């Protein structure tokens, strides 16, 4: 039956032709390559849980009197969006789990994107021919931040409502078009009546569709350019060394999807996130203390806080304060990020194709620049907690504010030379980062220090196996034997004997069975 369906489809679509290339596609093996997978799989989880939520959420800011099952809120005026979020949390079976998983996976999604991007940056994976994919990646990050913010805003609770208010002010601050953008998006001066339904359609349809499209392009480009790889294990600029898509990578990556789902489910079960019933509904003239957005907006909030109270006044016009930290800063950030591969090409003059990744230490200035830049955003992130820190450490808010205003310049300046030094030290550590052997630090009678690596003991380093090329037609079949060591060693030999030569192995019991019609 399967044979028949396969044959029928194959006659029309030539699955075998393209399929063979696909199953032999090699995926290099390194833990850091899983970061992108985490992002991809959290997006899958976001879609699945999001569809569930969209069936129960009512995207309306119409005010109603709450009469639901959560007693402390009864009798309050709340929006339908808020009431329906509470209802789907408390009255729909598994609703709270789906909502918490959705929110958690949004956080994981963004975290994975950021760390994945750092990996690509620090290993120089963005160089030619992958500049385009780097740009797509940066755009995915931007869209993910936007969509995270929109989703966070939908329940119309007090904290997220305050965030919407701030976002209106930020839109309003854009020169020339700001006030138009703000009134068009909100359907009038704040708060408008259109914002919840509009945010909803952007959050569940428009942005996810764009994200899905860009993700497809991102993956297609990985297939087209083939994956980058670290040196060693026979990897060169001319090959890709690793495991084939079918079945090894397939098993591992799908297993990984389930592992990401497992972590999300356990977080959704055990760690409460965004309990909007405790925050209360959004009331424009109420505000709660220690208002903080989700972590991925933290750097913007921090920038808003430590920005001095400057505005630019022109005859008849002005550039408001919020423009600098909330529009200019992210604008410059993402433009520089997208431009970086080209900026670097200018600096280094290196316009060659690179498929081998660099270890961060081997490009000390690049790594130091990355670390210093990251530290800038870490300081901004820290600055989003000025009030909490002042409270917690019992120091004045003034002190904390000025601390961050100074740190934002000082910390990157300190991090740069520090990273440079660490990279250079690491470069001189013999064998560092390659093996698990001990480094022995020796002190000479004169007081100088030196490092040697301990002798390898047998079994310390397993013999390095040469990679077997899978693109020659002859060897593909050999995969099929997949002999178990020890237990069924002779199987491979049997196959060889039967068919004569390697090609015969493809007729053995295989991982991919060739339909009878084709034999």
Site residues for another protein, window 403-442 (CB under 8 A)?
none
The least CB distance from residue 364 to another protein, in Å, is 28
Q: Indicate the pairing of strand 439-443 with strand 26-27.
A: unpaired
Residues 344-373 that bind another protein (CB under 8 A): 353, 355
- Considering only the stretches 15-23, 68-76, 343-351, 437-445, report the one whose residues sit in contact with another protein under the rule CB under 8 A: 15-23
- Residues 36-75 interacting with another protein (rule: CB under 8 A): none
Q: Does 331 bind another protein (CB under 8 A)?
A: no
The kind and range of the H/E element at 185 are helix 178-186
- Select the residue interacting with another protein from 62, 224, 231, 424 (CB under 8 A): 224
Residue whose CB is less far from another protein, 230 or 374: 230
Exactly one of 20, 30, 354, 437 binds another protein (CB under 8 A); that residue is: 20
Place of tokens 């956080």: 107
Q: Show the site string, 119-158: x = touches another protein by CB under 8 A, - = not.
A: ----------x-----------------------------
CB of 114 vs another protein, minimal distance in Å: 23
Q: Which residues contact 424 (CB under 8 A, 6 or more apart)?
A: 361, 364
CB nearer to another protein: give 453 or 470.
Answer: 470
Residue count, binding to another protein (CB under 8 A): 156
Q: Which residue has the tokens 């007081």?
A: 447
* Region from 146-154, 205-213, 359-367, 463-471 binding another protein, contact rule CB under 8 A: 463-471
> According to the binding rule CB under 8 A, does residue 100 interact with another protein?
yes
Helix 397-428 / helix 298-306 crossing angle, nearest 10 deg: 130
| Exposure letters 215-244 (e unless 16+ CB within 10 A, then b) | bebbeebbeeeebbbbeeeebeeeebbbbb
Kindly tell me which of 204 and 401 has the beta carbon lying closer to another protein. Answer: 401
Closer Cβ to another protein, 162 or 375, answer by number: 162
Angle between helix 329-348 and helix 131-153 axes, rounded to 10 deg:
170
If the CB atoms of residues 252 and 437 are measured against another protein, the closer one turns out to be: 252
Q: Least distance (Å) from another protein to the CB of residue 480?
A: 8
Given 114, 141, 196, 319, the residue binding another protein (CB under 8 A) = 319
**Tokens coding 372:** 């210093």
Contacts to another protein from residues 233-292, by CB under 8 A:
233-234, 237-244, 247-252, 254-266, 268-270, 283-291
Specify the residue for token string 């006659």: 11
Alpha-carbon dihedral 132, 137, 139, 141, rounded to 10 degrees: -170
Shortest Cβ 509–another protein spacing (Å): 13
Phi and psi angles of residue 196, each rounded to the nearest 5 degrees, phi first: -65, -50
Picking from 487, 470, 488, the residue whose alpha carbon sits closest to that of residue 478 is 470
Contact 80, 62 (CB under 8 A): yes
Phi/psi region, residue 368 (left: phi>0; alpha: psi -120 to 50; beta: rest), is alpha
Cα angle, residue 313 at apex, residues 311 and 317 outer, rounded to 5°: 115
Please tell me the distance from the alpha carbon of residue 7 to that of residue 15, in angstroms, as a whole number.
9
Select the residue interacting with another protein from 2, 31, 71, 93 (CB under 8 A): 93
Complex with another protein: residue 409 or 518, whichever CB lies closer: 518
309 lines the binding site for another protein (CB under 8 A): yes
């Amino acid at each position: 039956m399967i044979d028949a369906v396969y044959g029928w489809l194959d006659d029309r679509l030539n699955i075998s032709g393209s399929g063979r290339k696909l199953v032999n596609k090699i995926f290099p093996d390194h833990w850091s390559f899983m970061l992108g997978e985490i992002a991809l799989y959290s997006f899958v989880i976001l879609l699945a849980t999001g569809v569930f939520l969209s069936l129960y959420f009512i995207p309306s800011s119409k005010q109603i009197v709450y009469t639901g099952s959560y007693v402390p809120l009864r009798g309050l005026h709340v929006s339908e969006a808020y009431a329906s979020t509470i209802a789907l949390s408390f009255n729909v079976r598994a609703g709270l789990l789906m909502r918490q998983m959705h929110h958690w996976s949004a956080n994981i999604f963004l975290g994975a994107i950021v760390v994945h991007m750092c990996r690509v940056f620090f290993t120089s994976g963005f160089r030619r021919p992958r500049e385009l994919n780097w740009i797509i990646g940066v755009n995915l990050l931007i869209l993910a931040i936007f969509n995270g913010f929109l989703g966070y805003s939908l329940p119309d609770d007090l904290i997220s409502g305050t965030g919407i208010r701030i976002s209106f002010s930020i839109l309003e601050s854009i020169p020339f078009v700001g006030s138009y953008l703000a009134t068009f998006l909100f359907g009038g001066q704040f708060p408008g009546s259109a914002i919840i339904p509009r945010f909803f359609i952007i959050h569940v349809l428009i942005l996810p569709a764009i994200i899905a499209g860009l993700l497809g392009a991102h993956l297609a480009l990985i297939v087209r350019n083939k994956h980058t790889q670290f040196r060693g294990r026979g990897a060169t600029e001319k090959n890709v060394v690793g495991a084939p898509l079918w079945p090894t990578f397939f098993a591992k990556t799908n297993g990984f999807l389930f592992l990401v789902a497992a972590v999300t489910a356990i977080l959704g079960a055990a760690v409460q996130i965004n309990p909007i019933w405790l925050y209360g509904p959004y009331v424009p003239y109420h505000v709660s203390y220690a208002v903080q957005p989700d972590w991925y907006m933290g750097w913007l909030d921090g920038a808003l806080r430590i920005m001095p109270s400057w505005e630019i006044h022109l005859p008849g016009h002005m550039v408001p304060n919020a423009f600098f930290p909330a529009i200019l800063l992210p604008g410059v950030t993402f433009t520089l990020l997208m431009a970086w591969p080209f900026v670097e090409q200018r600096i280094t003059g290196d316009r060659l194709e690179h498929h081998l990744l660099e270890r961060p230490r081997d490009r000390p200035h690049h790594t130091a620049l990355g670390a210093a830049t990251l530290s800038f955003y870490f300081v901004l992130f820290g600055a989003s907690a000025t009030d909490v820190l002042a409270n917690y450490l019992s120091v004045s808010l003034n002190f904390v504010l000025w601390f961050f205003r100074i740190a934002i310049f000082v910390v990157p300046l300190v991090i740069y030379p520090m990273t440079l030094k660490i990279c250079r030290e690491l470069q001189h550590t013999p064998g560092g980062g390659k093996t698990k052997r001990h480094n022995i630090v020796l002190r000479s009678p004169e007081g100088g220090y030196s490092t040697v690596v301990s002798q390898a003991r047998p079994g310390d380093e397993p013999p390095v196996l040469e990679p077997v090329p899978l693109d020659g037609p002859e060897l593909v079949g050999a995969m099929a034997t997949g002999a178990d060591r020890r237990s069924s060693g002779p199987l491979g030999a049997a196959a060889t004997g039967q068919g004569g030569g390697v090609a015969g192995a493809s007729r053995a019991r295989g991982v991919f069975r060739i339909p009878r019609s084709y034999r």
